[in-house]
């Protein structure tokens, strides 16, 4: 029996204690991924979110067997990434990997379809990716977004159980991005597992069931959008406060940052904090607003909070 079938019931992805470093020209090694563990269940739509250099692409490369971990293990459907890919269960839409500029969209899909043992069919893949209308267009005449959709059609061909997408909407304008996610949503609704890397908070927020936040090679948070937002500190309280004013002992403070004459607090109890600031300190021009996902992102990735703007 196929080892992939024997492993029915295994999580779609199980990454355990994985580390990966790269040599650089300056002889210093870059630790791209450090002790990363991640389990993804069938049917989950997971966003891997993080700033540049966080380790997202390296994690996806490990998952797709394109690179081997220095430590730890990577399993896809209970088997090695390479066997899962050979079995046609995994497809990827990556940043790298070129298309032939002189081929038409249909020719490209037809050529790749011929390499697979079984496919959903050229027309069906083009339809699902929303490129039927541009089937006769040369790849060189397609926009960046259309080329991404073409790559998406190629990824859909083998009818994979897991789709891995690295910044799939890079280079797309707002409309193309919205259309792309609409077709992705249809794929996810049919029970496919989707793991996508993105810089865009709003993509993670509007599309993923679960957000895995990476920074400096590590997973710094993992949860639903609302769980992550709560990690942002609940609410943000900002006020003018002279340099040197004591802020120790103020209630409900999760974190504190000074920006010139202003102090920015994240707080789980903004009412108590605001009251204390206004009655026990010389704070003025006080503002309170709920923490956004962006605040959680900034705080957890160590990139600082954003100043509450009146809204």
Ligand X SMILES: Nc1ncnc2c1ncn2[C@@H]1O[C@H](COP(=O)(O)OP(=O)(O)OP(=O)(O)O)[C@@H](O)[C@H]1O
List residues binding ligand X (CB under 6 A).
22, 24, 30, 32, 50, 52-58, 199
Q: Considering the complex, what minimum distance in angstroms separates the CB of residue 197 from ligand X?
A: 6
Dihedral sign (CA 301, 306, 308, 311):
negative
Q: Which is nearer to ligand X, 193 or 301 (CB)?
A: 301
Considering the complex, state which of residue 106 and residue 210 has its C-beta at the smaller distance from ligand X: 210
* Shortest reach from residue 245's CB to ligand X, in Å: 39
Query: What CA–CA distance (Å, rounded) separates 295 from 234?
Result: 10
32 versus 87: smaller Cβ distance to ligand X: 32
10 Å CB burial of residue 29 (0-12, 13-18, 19+) is exposed
Q: What is the smallest separation between the CB atom of 4 and ligand X, expressed in angstroms?
A: 27
Which C-beta is closer to ligand X: that of 52 or that of 175?
52
Supply the minimum distance, in Å, between the C-beta of residue 300 and ligand X.
Answer: 14
Whether 53 and 34 have beta carbons less than 8 Å apart is answered as no
Looking at the Cβ atoms of 199 and 218, the one nearer to ligand X is: 199
**Minimum Å distance from CB 217 to ligand X?**
7
Contact 93, 166 (CB under 8 A): yes
Of 113 and 228, the one with the shorter C-beta distance to ligand X is 228
CB of 144 to ligand X, least distance (A): 16
Q: Which two tokens stand for residue 197?
A: 């890397």
């Amino acid at each position: 029996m196929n080892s992939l079938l024997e492993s029915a019931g295994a999580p779609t992805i199980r990454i355990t204690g994985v580390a990966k470093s790269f040599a650089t020209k300056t002889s210093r090694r870059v630790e791209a991924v450090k002790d990363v563990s991640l389990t993804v269940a069938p049917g989950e739509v997971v966003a891997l979110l993080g700033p540049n250099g966080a380790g997202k692409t390296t994690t996806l490369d490990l998952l797709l067997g394109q690179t081997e971990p220095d430590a730890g293990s990577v399993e896809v459907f209970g088997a090695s990434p390479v066997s899962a890919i050979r079995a046609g269960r995994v497809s990827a839409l990556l940043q790298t990997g070129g298309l032939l500029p002189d081929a038409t969209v249909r020719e490209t899909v037809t050529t790749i379809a011929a390499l697979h043992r079984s496919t959903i069919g050229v027309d069906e893949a083009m339809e699902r990716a929303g490129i039927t209308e541009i089937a006769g267009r040369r790849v060189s005449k397609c926009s960046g977004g259309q080329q991404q959709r073409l790559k998406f059609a190629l990824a859909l061909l083998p009818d994979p159980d897991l789709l891995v997408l690295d910044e799939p909407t890079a280079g797309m304008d707002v409309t193309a991005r919205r259309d792309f996610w609409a077709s992705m949503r249809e794929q996810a609704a049919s029970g496919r597992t989707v793991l996508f890397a993105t810089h865009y908070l709003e993509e993670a927020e509007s599309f993923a069931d679960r957000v895995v936040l990476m920074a400096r090679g590590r997973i710094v948070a993992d949860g639903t959008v609302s769980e992550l937002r709560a990690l942002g500190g609940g609410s943000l309280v900002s006020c003018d406060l002279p340099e040197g004013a004591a802020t120790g002992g103020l209630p409900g403070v999760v974190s504190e940052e000074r920006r010139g004459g202003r102090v920015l607090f994240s707080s789980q109890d903004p009412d108590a904090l605001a009251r204390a600031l206004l009655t026990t300190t010389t704070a003025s021009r006080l503002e309170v607003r709920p923490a956004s996902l962006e605040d959680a992102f900034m705080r957890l990735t160590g990139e600082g909070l954003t100043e509450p703007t009146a809204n």
